[in-house]
A = this chain, B = another copy of it.
Amino acid sequence: MTPLSIPDLPLGARVHDPFLVLEVDPRGGDNPFTVLILGNATGRIQTAPFWASDTPRIAGITRGKVVHVTGTIRPYREQRQVAVDSIRILPPGEVAWPGLMPSVGDVSRYWNDIDNWRSQLRSPRLGSTMALFYDDPEFRAHYQQCPASTSGHHAQLGGLLKHTWEVAQIALATARLFESADPDLTLAGALLHDIGKLDSYRWDGAFEPTVPGTVLGHVVLGSLLLDRRVRSERPMPCTEEELLLLQHLILSHHGKLEFGAPVPPLTLEAEILHYADNASAKVASMVSALQDSSNFLQDAPISTKGIWQLDRRRAWRGQSDWGRPGGNAG
């Protein structure tokens, strides 16, 4: 089912749709009220105030619940809000999640590429080790849904798969430039580096870190997952030294201790993986920052302030068509 397109709702439009509750925001001074921030895969909108006397109408509504809302779009200080006529919590069984959360959309192109690259691996034991995960239907079902972060880069359903696909491509492009790099091992690193995120986030509602994700971290969780999975096979699909190479790729991919890598990259492929991971994550964050119109005052070319996801840098929407016929800038 295609979700309602929130950014396209005109003033006066009627809504009669499910929304994910993104925030429950109590506000106001002497005359307190509550505003809900509602969203789906296409965007977000806030409700008109629920006054103290309306409290019973929103009883039990918390962040991460899905509600069915009937109401009207009204203007509010150069923005729009939805004046709610009726609102009720949808039972989990009735929720169609895919339309409600930000999503990368169709993931088949990512799977196609990844499976194709795997099929070209020239290293039998490496292929078998990857297959422990990437031929496992349950792994695939989870992996293609998991976000790559809760509020940073690729914070979307399927974001982890998309990020993996980007990292693999940048890493392979880099490995091909250096004769002594092993492209098969580089690909394996891309495929494994973030598997610990499967245990680190929940995406059944709002994206949230899990307890293990917070207290062990996705880097170590990935290492534990790999260790358990490889050792559960008899015989192991790879040797102990080969396992060490793979573990090192996972554990070093954050590049430096202060960024959460227990060890820095010490092999060529680990170094390549680290920069590819960084490039995917940081460039994706820049894409988001530039597309988020709330960072910019109307048509201003420079963002109004430093942006959190860019380590407090500003962003510049500078571009040109360079004289291209039908170019993308004037």
Q: Which residues of A contact B (CB under 8 A)?
A: 26-33, 49, 51, 76-77, 122-126, 166, 169-170, 173-174, 177-178, 180-182, 184-185, 209, 211-212, 214-217, 219-220, 223-224, 227-228, 231, 238-239, 241-242, 244-245, 247-248, 251, 257-268, 271-272, 275-276, 278-280, 282-284, 286-287, 290-291, 301-302, 313-324, 327-328
Contact = CB atoms under 8 A, between A and B. Distances in A.
Contact of A214 (B30, B220, B228, B314): B314
* Copies per assembly: 6
B263 A123 contact: no
A30 B30 contact: no
Nearest to A179: B287
A69 to B, nearest CB: 20
A258 B244 CA distance: 23
A14 to B, nearest CB: 23
B180 A169 contact: no
Nearest to A182: B319
A178 B244 contact: no
B284 A178 contact: yes
A216 B287 contact: no
Contact of A245 (B223, B261, B272, B318): B318
Determine which residue in A29, A169, A314, A316 has the highest number of CB atoms from chain B within 10 A of its CB, and name it: A316
A190 B301 CA distance: 24
Given A77-B26, A123-B323, A322-B124, A216 B262 contact: yes
A211 B125 contact: no
Contacts of A328: 182
Nearest to A128: B323
A83 B119 CA distance: 56
Contact of A248 (B124, B261, B267, B318): B318
A266 B313 contact: yes
Nearest to A289: B268
Contacts of A245: 318-320
B291 A282 contact: no
18 contacts: A31-B31, A125-B322, A170-B177, A178-B284, A180-B287, A180-B290, A185-B320, A209-B302, A239-B320, A241-B318, A241-B320, A242-B322, A260-B262, A267-B319, A271-B283, A272-B279, A275-B275, A275-B278
Given A262-B220, A316-B266, A279 B290 contact: no
Nearest to A52: B77
A247 B216 contact: yes
Given A180-B287, A215-B247, 13 more contacts: A32-B77, A170-B174, A178-B287, A211-B241, A216-B244, A216-B247, A216-B248, A217-B251, A265-B313, A267-B317, A271-B283, A272-B283, A275-B279
